[in-house]
A and B are shown apart, each in its own frame.
Chain A
Amino acid sequence: MIAKVASKKAPKQGMLENVMRQFDNAADIIDLNTNIRKILEVTNNEIVVHFPVRMDNGEVEIFTGYRVQHNNALGPYKGGLRYHPTVDIDAAKALAMWMTWKTSLAGLPYGGAKGGIQLDPNKYSDTELERITRRFTYALGDNIGPELDIPAPDVNTNPQTMAWILDTYMSTKSPAERSTNMHVVTGKPIGAGGSKGRDRATGFGVFLTIKFWAESHNVDLKDKKFIVQGFGNVGYWAAYFLVNEGAILTAVQDAYGSIANEEGINVDQLFDYQKGNKGSILGYAKARTIDSKDFFSLDCDICIPAALGNQITPKNAHKLKAYLIAEGANGPTDVDAEEILLKKGIDIIPDILCNSGGVIGSYFEWLQNRNGEIWSLDEVMEKLEKKMKESFTTVIETSKKRNVDMRTAAFIIAIERLEEAYVQRGIFP
């Protein structure tokens, strides 16, 4: 029986478990005030709404929507809205907590939130999805707001969804107030108050953290070989900017398979090929197809997992050749694999820092709407670089000062900022 249990496959680390583990680790190191720990361990508000929507066939269907607001000590709640059958309170709680650490580390005046509707968009027409979105917005009412809780796109929601939320929310306000509410959501289409550069913000941020790491370690990125898992929004832009810096993209993996060419893969040619090939990179003439299970063991200097979580595990960690991992995705390295990598001397730029360009881009959109400004692409990119540099420098300095890895340092900074806010403001009454 014991042998049977021992041989059983270890369960995959869940989101909430991972977030809590990282939080506890950092909280222990800084000896976080017990009362503040109690506050941060729970969510402020968990909103569940049931609302009716008329379907195209005339029938009325009841939907369940969620919004979890974890913490707002540093500013309005911020986080995505997703439409998926797996959306529930527990999933939203973990992701909301994650957002609190992320916005705090990025030095943004935001807290953390997450939410969505439990549904499969495949089952509904566009007009039904629009009515569902609008009715959900109405049901949330004043639980969201430009200075209270600012949703953004997530799984199965996009700029169009945000435009519907904006329009519905504004419609509930008096005419004089309407234009002052443009910043109730971010990730809007550019024509409806969105920001330039929002599309590339996450990928550019990934590139910047690699660049800053290279500068701090006296590494020249020219001719350094890198591999990217995921050639979507994040992977593409990260690769684009790295190649512009002189680095060489030697392998790419997407949902269809993996390709490699040690001489280099042209990022824009691959993007165009993928676009004309039903989204697949396979068959690209200037690279060979390789077995996906060998992807992470390819010879390279930098590895960018920019697709999904739990990709680097104890199974493949020891095979990694890169000396730097830049986590473009959320949670690509599991806890046990990280231990192996750190022992091997491989540096990891943690997801909470590495992919924070997206939420910083959201913040810029919010600021522009709030101040009635429209920034040029160059301005957005310049400000993003400045903000990312501040975050990176603080993490590196904390890492050295406390003799901890970059992930632990990032969590320490995020939690200490929240602790400082509570200590200075006190707890009412």
Chain B
Amino acid sequence: MSSMKNYIRSICSTCTYMAYCSLTKDKNSIFSCSDYVHVLDITNEPTLIISNEMASKEFERELVLNYI
């Protein structure tokens, strides 16, 4: 968790792109980002498929975060 010390109040600290992200050099105070991907999201599939539509291309996009 040493990254937490470097990136103050920033979601970048747990982002999979943290080490090489080209969007910004200053990774402090980042509170939302459309490219944010937690390491967990890359390694794990959704745990629950309720309908076929959820498995569609559109739903995969819905899994991308930052709704609001």
Which residues from chain A sit less than 8 Å from chain B, CB to CB? 12-15, 79-80, 82, 84-86, 91, 94-95, 99, 102, 120-122, 126, 130, 152-160, 163, 187, 189-192, 198-200, 202, 229-237, 253-258, 278-279, 292, 306-311, 328-330, 358-359, 362
Docked Cα-Cα span, A423 to B34, in Å, equals 38
Contact in complex: A330, B22 (CB < 8 Å): no
Query: B residues within 8 A CB of A163?
Result: 48, 50
Would B63 and A122 count as touching, CB distance under 8 A? no
The one of A85, A121, A253, A307 that contacts B33, using a Cβ cutoff of 8 Å: A307
Do residues B14 and A122 form an inter-chain contact, with CB atoms below 8 A? yes
Q: How many residues of B contact A (CB 8 A)?
A: 47
Q: Tell whether, in the assembled complex, residue A308 and residue B54 are in contact, meaning their CB atoms are under 8 Å apart.
A: no
For A306, list chain B residues within 8 Å (CB): 34
Between A and B, 17 residue pairs with Cβ closer than 8 Å are A12-B26, A84-B14, A99-B68, A121-B40, A152-B67, A156-B40, A163-B50, A190-B50, A198-B62, A199-B58, A202-B67, A233-B62, A233-B64, A234-B34, A235-B34, A255-B21, A329-B34
Residue contact B63 to A159, C-beta cutoff 8 Å: yes
In chain B, positions 3-26 with a C-beta closer than 8 Å to chain A are 4, 9-11, 13-15, 17, 20-24, 26
Q: What residues of chain A lie closer than 8 Å to B62, measured between beta carbons?
A: 158-159, 198-199, 233
* A122 neighbours in B (Cβ, 8 Å): 14, 38-40
Inter-subunit contact A308/B23 (CB<8 Å): yes
Give chain B's interface secondary structure class. Answer: loop
In the bound complex, residues from chain A placing their C-beta under 8 Å from that of B67 are 80, 152-154, 187, 198, 202, 358, 362
Which residue of chain B has its CB nearest to the CB of A361? Answer: B67
Instruction: Indicate whether A330 sits within 8 Å of B32 (C-beta atoms), given known contacts A84-B11, A190-B51, A308-B23.
Output: yes
Using Cβ atoms and an 8 Å threshold, which residues of chain B touch A95? 31
How far does the alpha carbon of A95 sit from the alpha carbon of B35 in the complex, in Å?
19
Please report the C-alpha to C-alpha distance between residue A233 and residue B1 in the assembled complex, in whole angstroms: 28
Question: Across the interface, which residues of B come within 8 angstroms of A258, CB to CB?
Answer: 22
Q: A160-B47, A163-B48 are in contact. List 20 more A-B contacts (CB 8 A).
A: A14-B29, A15-B31, A82-B11, A84-B11, A122-B38, A122-B40, A154-B65, A156-B38, A158-B62, A158-B63, A191-B54, A200-B61, A233-B66, A255-B22, A258-B22, A306-B34, A307-B34, A308-B23, A309-B30, A362-B68
Q: Say whether, besides A256-B17, A306-B34, A307-B34, A233 and B23 are in contact (CB < 8 Å).
A: no
Total A-B residue contacts, Cβ distance less than 8 Å:
172
In the complex, which residues of chain A have a beta carbon less than 8 angstroms from the beta carbon of B15?
A: 255
Bound form: Cα–Cα A236–B17 in Å: 19
A160 touches B34 (CB 8 A): no
> Contacts of A84 on B, CB cut-off 8 Å?
11, 14
Alpha-carbon distance A137/B59, docked complex (angstroms): 24
Q: B11 contacts A232, CB within 8 Å?
A: no
Given contacts A155-B32, A257-B22, contact A121 B38 (CB under 8 A): yes
Contacts of A308 in B (CB 8 A): 23-24, 30, 32-35
Which of A190, A257, A307, A358 has a CB less than 8 Å from the CB of B54? A190
- A159–B66 CA distance with the chains assembled, in angstroms: 11
Judge whether A310 and B24 touch: CB under 8 Å. Answer: yes
With the chains together, A237 CA to B4 CA distance in Å? 32
> Which residue in A256, A307, A329, A358 is a CB contact (below 8 Å) of B68?
A358
**Cβ A232 vs Cβ B59 within 8 A:** no
Are B61 and A233 interface neighbours, CB within 8 A? Answer: yes
Known: A14-B29, A232-B34. A256 touches B22 (CB 8 A): yes
A307: chain B residues within 8 A (beta carbon): 23, 33-35
Q: How far is the CB of B19 from chain A (nearest CB, A)?
A: 10
